[in-house]
Amino acid sequence: TRQLSETYGITLAVLGDALELRDQDTMGHTERVVALSESIGRELGLSDDELTHLRWGAYVHDLGKIGVPDAVLRKPGPLTPDEWNLMQRHPEQGYHLLERLFFLSDALDVVRYHHERFDGKGYPLGLSGEEIPLLARIFAVADAYDAMTNDRPYRRAMS
């Protein structure tokens, strides 16, 4: 029902907000990527259901970072290879945290594959091209844009 769907969406937004409390360097990131990915999806003609799944996945895309130590998550400089390995686990960790939530089944691709790259050089699986699910590809564009246009602890925003 519609009320249940709205409740799910609010719950996921709260989870996204809670994660941002832990990593205040990216405050506002979730809301920005939710809005941007929805705008892209709408322009591409996604259905209302697809837009809902995209939005829900966007809210919790970085939930797996809960398993990344603060020292790595908030490090102001480049990550060591071991630290980078820890960071690269967050999509799978988020996926496994959320996979039992039946209502998220169509949104989990965003969580699991949002760091895959069209050229196959992404993670966690090194998928390429259309092997990457559409919602994850759309979200990845929004996520990359937001990362480039906002300050991070290790670099200033591009203008």
pLDDT tens for each residue of 30-56: 999 999 999 999 999 999 999 999 999
Contact status, residue 132 vs residue 115, Cβ threshold 8 Å:
no
Strand partners, 155: 152
d(Cα 49, Cα 147) in Å, to the nearest integer? Answer: 27
Degrees to nearest 5, angle at CA 44 with 39 and 48: 70
**The dihedral sign for the CA sequence 65, 70, 72, 74:** positive
Pair of tokens at residue 136: 């994850």
Place 155 in a pLDDT band, splitting at 50, 70 and 90. low
pTM of the entire structure?
Answer: 0.90
**pLDDT for 153:** 62
Which of 155, 138, 17 is closest to 77 using CA atoms?
155
Where are the domains positioned within the chain?
Answer: 2-149
Asked if residue 111 has pLDDT above 90, the reply is yes
d(Cα 12, Cα 28) in Å, to the nearest integer? Answer: 15
Range list of H helices, the chain: 2-22, 29-43, 48-59, 70-73, 81-88, 90-98, 108-113, 134-149
d(Cα 115, Cα 2) in Å, to the nearest integer? Answer: 31
Contact status, residue 103 vs residue 126, Cβ threshold 8 Å:
no
Question: For 2-149, CATH number?
Answer: 1.10.3210.10
**DSSP category for residue 101:** -
pLDDT tens for each residue of 127-144: 999 999 999 999 999 999
**pLDDT for 2:** 86
**DSSP category for residue 138:** H
**pLDDT for 157:** 63
**Mean residue pLDDT across the chain:** 92
